[in-house]
Amino acid sequence: MKSIFHLLALLLVAASISAKGNDMKTSSSDKPAVNSQTATFGGGCFWCIEAFIEIQEGVESVTSGFAGGKTANPSYEDVCGGQTGHAEVVQVKFDPSKITYEQLLDIFWRVHDPTTLNRQGADTGTQYRSIILYHDEAQKLAAEKSKKEAASRFQGPIVTEIVPLTAFYSADKSHQDYFRNNPNARYCRMVIAPKVEKLKKH
C-alpha cells in the first residue's frame, strides 16, 4: 500500500515539475524580440520630413511632433508663435536590420537645406531649424560624423544643431500622416509632392 502511495506521489511531483517547465518555456517564447530603434530630427515643416521618411523600407512608424525647447506639452499654435524653443521634428521607429541610423541621416541631409538658419524655403522661424536630437552616445557620434561628411555637398556651412533629446511631444492627430491624408492640399501638391518624387528617383 505504501509503495502505491509512494508511486503516486512521485508521479504528482514529476507532473508538477513538467508543468513549471512548460510555463517557463511559454513565458520566454512569448516575449517579443525588441529590434526597433528610434531617431529624432527636424528640417523644416514636419509634414515634409514625415512624407520623405515614412516611404523608406525598414521604417516602422513616423510621428510628427516637437522637441528641442523648454515648454512642456506645447500646442502647434504655441510652437508657431516661436516662444517655446521647440522645433518641428519627426520621431522615427525603424528596424536597424533593414535601414540603419546612418542611412536615415543620409536621407535627412538630402531632403532639406541644412545651411539656412531657422528657415526652409518660405517657412521661417526657429521652429523650422535644422536639428538632430540624439538618443545615445552612439547616435551623437554618428550624427557628428555624418555632418562632416555631408559638408562637401553644400556651398554654405551646415548650421544643423546636434543636441541630446530631453523630451518629445507628439503633435495632434491632424498633423500625423498629413501628406498621405491630404494629397490634394495646396502645400502638399506644390511643395511636398515634387520633393517626394525627386527622392524616389535617387
Q: Which of 45, 48, 80, 188 is flagged as catalytic?
A: 45
Pairing type for strands 87-94 and 37-43 reads antiparallel
188 is catalytic: no
Residue 27: CB atoms within 10 A of its CB come to: 9
Which helix (H) or strand (E) element contains residue 163?
A: strand 161-164
Residues 6+ apart with CB under 8 A from 179: 47, 48, 50, 51, 188, 192, 193, 196
What proportions of the chain, in percent to the nearest 5, are helix, strand and coil?
Answer: 45, 20, 35
Residues 6+ apart with CB under 8 A from 125: 80, 82, 118, 119
Give the residue numbers marked as catalytic. Answer: 45
